Amino acid sequence: MGELKLAVDNNKLREDATGAAGYVEVHEDFVSSITNYSDSLKKAVIALASDGNFEAAKREVSAYQQIQNKTPGFKQRTEHYFNHVRELLDAIQNLKNFPNFDTLRAAQQKQIRERVIIYVEDLSSVLGRVDKITNDLKIQDVRSTTWVVRAFSICLMLFFMMLALREAIALAPTPAGIFVLIEDGLFDVVGL
């Protein structure tokens, strides 16, 4: 089967969208390498859309969404963004496959190309917001983990201090004897 001719020239779109988004080469099995760098979803989706592979771009968005939905709070904060990304991909696909594009006047062709560029910029912006939310949630998770580790270590330290104090009280017959035991222990540690 011959190559499908799109109504809008992809090379022209790449030239027009310079600065709107960075493009990368991607392969069909991109899901396996999606976590290699922070803005991989953004670059992959824009690259797939610029190549006219909209179904693969939608699969990438869905796969990323499924992977990240395990993170608490991710789904609630990003659901509307993913819906908007799918709408933008459909709009770009419709414009790139505009019927009888070659028969349109040059001004109309330019308007369609400009609209595609606007949609690509919007797509880039929305995917950037998703990346920011993902990074914010990861930072929140690390901070909460840090607090849990600190609280656990403080509790553990207090537990051992209580055990040491209990042992000191058991060994010393009087409260003054506790200080003598602590003083003797410090001198033994220092070596005097």
Domains of the chain, by residue range, sit at 10-146
Handedness of CA 125, 119, 23, 42 (dihedral sign): positive
* Mean pLDDT calculated for residue range 140-160: 92
Please tell me the predicted confidence (pLDDT) of residue 165. 79
Question: Measured between alpha carbons, how far is 133 from 152 in angstroms, rounded to an integer?
Answer: 28
The pLDDT assigned to 173 comes to 67
Are 61 and 32 a contacting pair, CB within 8 Å? no
Model pLDDT, residue 16: 46
Return the SS3 of 91. Answer: helix
> Whole-angstrom Cα distance, residue 11 to residue 9?
6
pLDDT at 23 over 50: no
State pLDDT tens for residues 52-107: 888 989 999 999 999 888 888 888 999 999 999 999 999 998 888 888 888 888 88
Average pLDDT over residues 120-143: 90
Out of 1.10.150, 3.30.750, 1.10.520, 1.20.120, which CATH number does the structure's domain 10-146 have?
Answer: 1.20.120
- 45 CB neighbour count, 10 Å cutoff: 27
